[in-house]
Amino acid sequence: MEKIKSAFSSSNATTKLSKAFRLKSEDGVLRRSQMGNPFVDGPELEQPSLSKSHLFIHIGAIFFTFLSICTMGAVAGFQAKWFKISGGTGFVLFILIMSFILTATLMIVPIVYDRWDKLKRAAQFLAQSRSTLILHAFGTLLMLFAAFIVTISAWTAKGCKKADDDPHADLGDDYKNSLNDWCTTKKASAVFTWLSFAAWAALLVLVAIKFRREKKLSHNEPSFIPPPESNGVSYSNILSHDEEHFVENKLERQDSELAEDRYVPENNLQNPFSYKQPTTTHAQMDRPSIDAYGAFDGDGMPKAGEHSRTMQMAYTDPYAHLRQQLINPSSNTTHSTYAGNSIPPGPPAYAGYRQH
């Protein structure tokens, strides 16, 4: 019973779970903080952003650059003590400090992003092979300039060969006695600068190889294949010599459909986005008149220059009845008949209109 209790104890289960989710750096597995979302894009999911080879070379470049800065600082201090800092020494110090900052940035940003999930923008920028290739090429060029300047200054200075030939030999014996150590320090700075340049060159080669590999993989990816159409024919199964025939038949079918539509302009027949006539038709219904006088019932719209029937019926010409009596004398009899019957005559007749 004691063994069973110990097997199901909380401490034992917690220990097993902690071992199961423990980060294995040699296998490059996911961190425990990223186990919740395995679909997050990023190079840190399977492998660290900075490989071990890059990390070691970056450490070497930082170390040798730091030694170069220290030795070149001693050279600048000697010059400032006796006369002034030369322009070449100041320029080399500027290049070394810039190279040190660049190397530290290229190494620290991926580590901080992998460990604490910070500096995301900078890490995304450095994750691109093209950007890292440009930065490493720039750092390598800087270290090459610095190495050439320090080497030429250390091995070609007159005071390093013979103290009496130094331009500032008139400063005294103490200055001449210190020239030997000063030249040795400058030569050491040149050696450290060349070692730092070698580290930068190695990083540049590794980044260039990675960039070339990614470029080859991008070229080997399959091209985009359009989805199949509704008629079951897709571009993936059309041969090269049948493609032109298929396109011509499709264009002719579209033109024939558009030509039947009378509302489509002629210049839009080749446009696949123009208006198409609907396939279903509906019976056209008559428009009911809303005129209380029945203005357009059965007669349609009046012609141009004519009054509507409502206006003609509402308008009574006082001379129409007299004109009719003068033209047709028989209308008097009709009028008297209507008068005897006490039925007023109707409105005058107008050609083309019905009597109501």
pLDDT digits (tens, 9 = 90+) for 5-27: 554 454 444 444 344 334 444 44
pLDDT band for position 115 (50/70/90)? Answer: confident
Highest-confidence range of 185-199, 291-305, 310-324, by mean pLDDT? 185-199
DSSP string, 181-220: HHHHHHHHHHHHHHHHHHHHHHHHHHHHHHHHHHHHHHHH
C-alpha to C-alpha distance for 279 and 189, rounded to whole angstroms: 86
pLDDT band for position 117 (50/70/90)? Answer: confident
pLDDT band for position 30 (50/70/90)? Answer: very low
Q: Report which residue type is found at 211.
A: F
Average pLDDT over residues 265-291: 54
Is the pLDDT at 273 greater than 70, yes or no? Answer: no
pLDDT recorded at residue 28: 43
pTM above 0.75, yes or no: no
Q: Which stretch of 46-50, 104-108, 192-196, 326-330 has the lowest confidence by average pLDDT?
A: 46-50
Burial 131-154 (b: 16+ CB within 10 A, else e): ebbebbeebbebbbebbebbbebb
Contact 220, 99 (CB under 8 A): no
Tens of pLDDT, residue by residue over 119-174, are 778 777 777 778 888 888 898 998 998 888 888 888 877 777 776 666 666 776 77
* Alpha-carbon separation of residue 118 from 48, 88, 110, 114, 121 (angstroms): 14, 39, 9, 8, 9
C-alpha to C-alpha distance for 97 and 87, rounded to whole angstroms: 15
Is the pLDDT at 176 greater than 60, yes or no? Answer: yes
pLDDT recorded at residue 29: 40
C-alpha to C-alpha distance for 282 and 280, rounded to whole angstroms: 7
Mean per-residue pLDDT of the chain:
67
CA nearest to 118, candidates 24, 33, 23, 21: 33
pLDDT recorded at residue 342: 46
pLDDT recorded at residue 92: 87
Task: Count the Cβ atoms, other than its own, within 10 Å of residue 106.
Answer: 21
For the chain, what percent of residues have pLDDT higher than 90? 3
Is the pLDDT at 236 greater than 60, yes or no? Answer: no
Contact 268, 258 (CB under 8 A): yes
C-alpha to C-alpha distance for 352 and 284, rounded to whole angstroms: 27
pLDDT recorded at residue 261: 55
Task: Count the Cβ atoms, other than its own, within 10 Å of residue 191.
Answer: 17
Average pLDDT over residues 245-249: 59
DSSP 3-state of 288: coil
pLDDT recorded at residue 347: 54
CA nearest to 50, candidates 110, 124, 133, 135: 110
pLDDT recorded at residue 256: 63
pLDDT recorded at residue 293: 52
Interhelix angle 87-116/129-156, rounded to 10 degrees, is: 150
295: left (phi over 0), alpha (psi -120 to 50) or beta: alpha
pLDDT band for position 105 (50/70/90)? Answer: confident
